[in-house]
Amino acid sequence: AQKITQTQPGMFVQEKEAVTLDCTYDTSDQSYGLFWYKQPSSGEMIFLIYQGSYDEQNATEGRYSLNFQKARKSANLVISASQLGDSAMYFCAMREGRPKRGSYIPTFGRGTSLIVHP
């Protein structure tokens, strides 16, 4: 079963508008961390934002915020005031609190391709 599900293969947004990228996760651990990464066409993976399962406030980093709904097991990324440079692949990832196979191995979703139109 997928631990991280990103249901939107592709998204389009107009420049300066906000966009939400969906992510749902599956874990039986009480303690875990959720991450979002950006991958531009050049290929490098850029860490954007982190949310801990015990954090009461939604995480924010500049124009990025994470809409964390623990009961629904969702961790959607919200990008406000989209810019042309936001066009990229976006990956949601989870790191569970209990080691699996001796390590806290991150699990990634399949990604969402975001295109920002001028």
Nearer to another protein, 102 or 118 (CB): 102
Q: Minimal distance in Å, beta carbon 17 to another protein?
A: 26
113's tokens:
């391709």
Element (H, E) at 37: strand 32-39
Amino acid at 74: S
Residue 68 as a binder of another protein (CB under 8 A): the answer is no
Residue 38 as a binder of another protein (CB under 8 A): the answer is no
Which of 3, 8, 22, 52 binds another protein (CB under 8 A)? It is 52
Residue 102 as a binder of another protein (CB under 8 A): the answer is yes
Rg, Å, the chain Cα set: 14
Residue 91 as a binder of another protein (CB under 8 A): the answer is yes
Cβ count near 5 (within 10 Å): 16
Task: Please state, in angstroms and rounded to a whole number, the distance separating the CA atoms of residues 34 and 49.
Answer: 8
Which of 3, 8, 22, 50 binds another protein (CB under 8 A)? It is 50
Task: Please state, in angstroms and rounded to a whole number, the distance separating the CA atoms of residues 31 and 117.
Answer: 38
* Chain positions contacting another protein, by CB under 8 A: 9, 31-33, 35, 37, 42-47, 50, 52, 91, 93, 95-97, 101-106, 108-111
